[in-house]
Chains A and B, each alone.
Chain A
Amino acid sequence: MSTALDSSILSLITFVPLAGGILLLLFPRRDRDIRVFALVVTLLDFVLSLHLPVHLARVQAGFQFEINRPWISNPNIHYHMGVDGISAWLVVLTTFLTPLCVVISWKSIHDRVKEFFILLLVMETALIGVFTALDLFLFYFFWEATLIPMALLIGMYGHGRKVYAAIKFFLYTMIASMFMLAGILWLYAKTGTFDFVSVQTAIRSGQVEGFVTAAPWIFLGFFIAFAVKVPLFPFHTWLPDAHVEAPTAGSVLLAGVLLKMGTYGMLRFSLGLFPDQSRSNASWIMVLALIGIIYGALVAMVQPNLKKLIAYSSISHLGFVVLGIFSFTPAGLDGATFVMLAHGVSTGALFMLAGILYERRHTYEIADFGGLATPMPVYATFFLFITLASVGLPLLNGFIGEFLVLSGAFRARALYGVLGATGVIWSACYLLWMYQRVFFGKVTHSVNQSLPDLDGRERAALWPAAIVTLVMGVAPLIWLNAIDPAVQSALTPFTLLAKKAVGR
């Protein structure tokens, strides 16, 4: 194992898509070449990113594959990247979903193809950067950088009220992250560094002047930025609009990766920098998460629109993640991270499936379908498989994470566990009912009679997702034994706190 590769692998993974995007700029407008090139770049990046889990030391809890170089002297910004078990898998999730996005957009994007794939590649770089950055400034940069390509993807390639959705998405998340920027700048003013590890050390050793009085506000500043991204219950209104109007690839990345930026931020920054404040605010955050789980599920149940239904189911599932994180138990955090990954794969797949249907019928209305299992048996099978995973059927990926989260929540407070568990029941209701209305019964609209089943390209996009869904459900330890050490180290301040409390 070469050390040179270890220190540069993160930069490679992060910037290969961007380099691909810049090369695409020079391409002539021959759509086929552009698509093939984008696919090659994203696959290459996926292969590169596999280096992370393969060579990740499972026992060691700190950051690995670190690279830390001074970048700008004033302000003191370092090019500091590194991953632990949590972020490494999130990087792989990103690189795994992007090639699928390329495949699924192969035909559905036929106008301004070049711009589309450039935006997609830039987007991938920004997303990976969010998970690898360990310098608060670098993190903020990548965080903001995801906004522009995503807003453009929605606004340029979406349908319906796309401009409205794009602007709403942009303004909501940008204004929220300005609060985070204020927090970051405060930390910089007091510690003189943007480096996550140094800031964390300074805070833990109590060297930061005025931290005790300012911390509740800074915690809130970070939290608002993350909560809007997740989105947690009262901040969620941008999500359904963005999803419904976004092109399929946009939805896949939005639900699959972008939302995880928020929960990842909570895990890494809220818990990492403000353990005391996280603990004291945990009760109302968990209540919001529970409201999100139940409210998201109930609203999903009455949605007439397939994509909106999946969007609200995302709100519900992400509620589980937040619930797990703020339970401060190893099981809860392990589960939360696992739900992030599982939800990324299965909801990504659900959005691809919805997109496939849209390509054929140009509608997302559930009422326009019915009895699709007859003309499209293969499609129906895939859909059922992913739906069951999303419902949380044991042996598929949804089950493991939710189970762990709930066991963590039970340990934190039994009532939260009970209420959270109803979320699983709700999700079974709305997903299976939706499945029944779309696929079973007689074909109600004659146009649906002759819908073609999946072609090879669509199968190529769905098979990987389905396989990963199964493997994650059968052998979750592959993921969990990398995640667990990172979770343990994230929880160190909390176990210390608990010990202190017991000792007194």
Chain B
Amino acid sequence: MRLLPEIVLTVFGMIVMVLDAAEERRIEKTLGTVALIGALSALAATFVQAQYPGFAFWNMVQVDSFSVFFHFLVAAVAVVVILTSFEYMAVQQIRAGEYYALILFGAVGMSLMSSAVELVLIFIALEISSIATYVLAGFRRRSATSSESSVKYFLLGSFATAFFLYGVALMFGATGSTSIATIGEVLRSGQIPLLAYAGVALMFVGLGFKVAAAPFHVWTPDVYEGAPSPVVGFMSTAPKAGVFAVLLRIMFEAHAPGRVGLIWVVAALSMTIGNLGALVQDNVKRLLAYSSIAHAGYLLVAFAALPNNGIPAAMFYTASYAAMNVGAFAVVSHFGGDGERYVTLDDYSGLGRRSPLLAAMLTILLLSLIGIPITGGFFAKFYVFSAALQANLVGLVIIGVLNSAVGAYYYLRIIVVMYMREPQQEVPVARIPAGLGFALAVSLVATIYLGVLPGRVLEYASRTATAWGH
């Protein structure tokens, strides 16, 4: 029962694979629908899972409010991405097949990351999710950029996971255990061995790569530009959520030494590099890639704060970032058209006139990314910065706030272009199909819900901090 969402996802992933092989004339819609049902069942399974808190799988998996939170998040993102993919696959004329299976398998790894409390299992979960995303990134087979994106992501990514594994080994050497709880006890009890610092640093390199935190961010713009847009929406949110969950466990539950200094530098770098990089982008996908680097930076600020408000702040940020970003990429993937031709800012000019609904939705999501009140993005930033203030990290908060002001500018550029420029060329805008409309509605409602009534989600997230006994 405690592994129900993972089991459900795996089973449906296999069904999709088998169906794909068995069908003579493959019907993409069927495969997609099966995958959708799978993701929805996984979403439902998290509610079942929540009824059975405790350990499973030889104490390597722990189900608590923390892991349930992330399971729910990953499954919800998977649902939205699958809905977005229906239309995308048809327009791009990509033979779907394994695509949906890979999304489900990836989701298995991502959810497992949030409940694994043993470093080796975490590594395996990380690999499951990574390998799925490597392949997904290359799915626009006819496009050279997509293949480049996939290969680049694969090479650098395996390098990064090697770092992580090395860190795990050092950690084991320092503390004699790979269980996070035991490591935490050891590190709390006595003198902290030097090896543990090295272990944390190396693990952080591996995980920092996955969340695209500077200075491990260099791959992000190229990979995001080349990968299929729904996949970018997926891999900029769900795996990140999983990795942030792992980071939270390592940083707080395992009581990682040298946390504040390490995070301070990386967060400040990510925010600054991400925002400055985004200022000069003309390609919307690259712009959003840099924006995701910046957002990883904001999120990391919470990791430098005290556990009792840093953890809920980070969880809230992950959720609201997932909501708004997956929606933004849904718009990008719909608008991109055949072969993703329309991805530059010029193509977006006059979108407010040609497709008012799409433009309005993108506007709301962008306003949330800026952090305007009444959207999830505002409270996400609010909680993160106030947590940091309570930990007396005034310098980091100032850097963060200045960065938000810079960030406002490039998100606004998109809005300005959509509403205030006349179209440069004829860019066709297809009607919004039902699946995509539903996906957009979900992410919009989530974004606004988190902005109007953030209380319940934050309260749920706060339970973790209490449970971890800080």
Contact = CB atoms under 8 A, between A and B. Distances in A.
B7 interface: no
Contacts of A73: 455, 459
Given A72-B455, A167-B412, A115 B356 contact: yes
Given A75-B382, A156-B420, A166-B416, A140 B453 contact: no
Contacts of B401: 178, 182
B454 A148 contact: no
Given A148-B372, A163-B420, A74 B455 contact: yes
Count chain A CB atoms within 10 A of each CB in B372, B373, B405 and give the residue with the most.
B373
Nearest to B372: A144
B455 A171 contact: no
Interface string A129-148: 00000000100110011001
Nearest to B409: A171
Nearest to B373: A141
A171 B405 CA distance: 9
Interface in B226-248: none
Contacts of A145: 372-374
Contacts of B421: 163
B458 interface: yes
Interface in B372-404: 372-374, 382, 386, 389, 401
B416 A163 contact: yes
Contacts of B382: 75
Interface residues of B, number: 24
Contacts of A152: 419
B453 A72 contact: yes
A175 interface: yes
Contacts of B408: 171, 174
A155 B405 contact: no
Contact of A115 (B352, B372, B374): B352
Contacts of B367: 148
Contacts of A175: 405
A162 interface: yes
B142 interface: no
Contacts of A204: none
Nearest to A138: B373
A304 to B, nearest CB: 26
Given A144-B373, A178-B401, A155 B458 contact: no
A112 interface: yes
A189 interface: yes
Interface in B346-381: 352-353, 356, 367, 372-374
Contacts of B356: 112, 114-115
A302 to B, nearest CB: 30
Contact of A141 (B374, B386, B416): B374
A140 B386 CA distance: 17
Given A155-B420, A171-B409, A174-B408, A112 B353 contact: yes
B386 A75 contact: yes
Given A75-B382, A141-B373, A155 B419 contact: yes
A124 B458 CA distance: 32
Given A112-B353, A189-B386, A170 B412 contact: yes
A288 interface: no
A395 interface: no
Nearest to A70: B455
A357 interface: no
Contacts of B420: 155-156, 162-163, 166
Interface string B71-113: 0000000000000000000000000000000000000000000
B373 A156 contact: no
Interface residues on chain A, size class: 20 to 34
B405 A178 contact: yes
Given A140-B373, A163-B420, A156 B386 contact: no
A185 B386 contact: yes
A189 B389 contact: yes
Contacts of A155: 416, 419-420
Nearest to B385: A185
Contact of B454 (A72, A163, A170, A182): A72
A113 to B, nearest CB: 12
Contacts of B458: 74
B372 A74 contact: no
Contacts of A185: 386
Interface string A175-214: 1001000100100010000000000000000000000000
Interface string A23-43: 000000000000000000000
Interface string A97-141: 000000000000000101100000000000000000000010011
A187 B419 CA distance: 37
- Interface-central residue, B353, B389, B412, B420, by most chain A CB under 10 Å: B420
Contacts of B419: 152, 155-156
Interface string A253-281: 00000000000000000000000000000
Contacts of A140: 373
Nearest to A112: B353
Interface string B429-466: 00000000000000000000000011100110000000
A228 to B, nearest CB: 14
B76 to A, nearest CB: 22
A4 B85 CA distance: 50
Contacts of A156: 352, 419-420
A56 to B, nearest CB: 29
Contacts of A182: 401
Contacts of A112: 352-353, 356
Contacts of A166: 416, 420
Interface in B159-218: none
Interface string A224-238: 000000000000000
A155 B412 CA distance: 12
Nearest to B378: A141
Interface in A56-92: 72-75
A223 B382 CA distance: 22
B306 to A, nearest CB: 15
Contacts of B455: 72-74
Nearest to B417: A163
A302 B382 CA distance: 47
Nearest to B421: A163
A491 to B, nearest CB: 32
Nearest to A147: B372
A162 B386 CA distance: 37
A144 B405 CA distance: 14
A111 to B, nearest CB: 8
Contacts of A144: 372-373
A137 B386 CA distance: 15
Contacts of B389: 189
A148 B372 CA distance: 10
Contacts of B373: 137, 140-141, 144-145
Contacts of B352: 112, 115, 156
B459 A74 contact: yes
A167 B416 contact: yes
B91 to A, nearest CB: 27
The 3 closest A-B pairs by CB, nearest first: A155-B420, A141-B373, A163-B420
22 contacts: A72-B453, A74-B455, A74-B459, A112-B352, A112-B353, A114-B356, A137-B373, A141-B373, A144-B372, A144-B373, A145-B372, A148-B367, A155-B420, A156-B419, A162-B420, A163-B421, A166-B420, A170-B412, A171-B409, A174-B405, A178-B405, A185-B386
Given A156-B419, A163-B420, 8 more contacts: A73-B455, A73-B459, A114-B356, A144-B373, A155-B419, A166-B420, A167-B412, A171-B409
